Homo-oligomer: A and B are copies of this chain.
Amino acid sequence: MTARRTGRRPGNPDTRDAILAAARTAFAERGFDAASIRAIATTAGVDPALVHHYFRTKEELFRATVAIPIDPAELLPRVLAGGRDEVGARLVRTFLGVWDSPVGTAAVALLRSAVSNQWTARLLREFLTTQILRRVLDQLDLDPAEAPLRGSLVSTQLAGLAMMRYVIRLEPVASATPDTLVATIGPTLQRYLTGPLDQS
């Protein structure tokens, strides 16, 4: 009776991590459909059959790839702490912090895949609504009648920022400094969250 009788995942941890890392970049660069298990296995230096051995299906591999590294419960308090008037700026800065980090690879994978694949789109939509938007909106104590619209407006701006900066790579947004984007896009989010909804 060893100490790890429960919760132990099957397989050699090193091999498993190598597959996960290769899968993360593959899904981020090509999206769910275009990424192939065979290519991922080659990059990881393992046999394709091993990928199935560890993750059973391509879908479960994708889930393991994107689900692990994003934990909004840890980040959001930092966004919501501090003055209510700077929520927009802090939201942009935190957002960029996640996407510019290694963790952002998983986010790119999710966004890329969500566009050409129905069930990943649903995954993204549910992640947005239940994990991010609801928490932010709850904390800001908004009019319940307006909150959903405010939340989805924020989503449009942040999704577009991610698309242009990390997927399409449109300049100069793709290479702009976080400070520039915080200064320009922060006020937009601020107005979507706490400003008037009709006129600027």
Q: Confirm or deny: A76 has a beta carbon within 8 angstroms of a beta carbon on chain B.
A: no
**A residues whose Cβ falls under 8 Å from a Cβ of B:** 30-31, 33-34, 111-117, 121, 124-125, 128-129, 148-149, 152-153, 155-161, 163-165, 167-173, 176, 180, 183-188, 190-192, 197-200
Query: Is the Cβ of B160 less than 8 Å from the Cβ of A163?
Result: yes
Query: Which of chain B's residues has its CB closest to A189's CB?
Result: B188
Copy number of this protein in the oligomer? 2
Query: Is the Cβ of B148 less than 8 Å from the Cβ of A156?
Result: no
Query: Is the Cβ of A172 less than 8 Å from the Cβ of B149?
Result: yes
Secondary structure type dominating chain A contacts: helix
Query: Which of chain B's residues has its CB closest to A88's CB?
Result: B200
Query: Is the Cβ of A124 less than 8 Å from the Cβ of B168?
Result: yes
Q: Which of B116, B149, B164 contacts A176 (CB 8 A)?
A: B149
A41 to B187 CA separation, bound complex (whole angstroms): 49
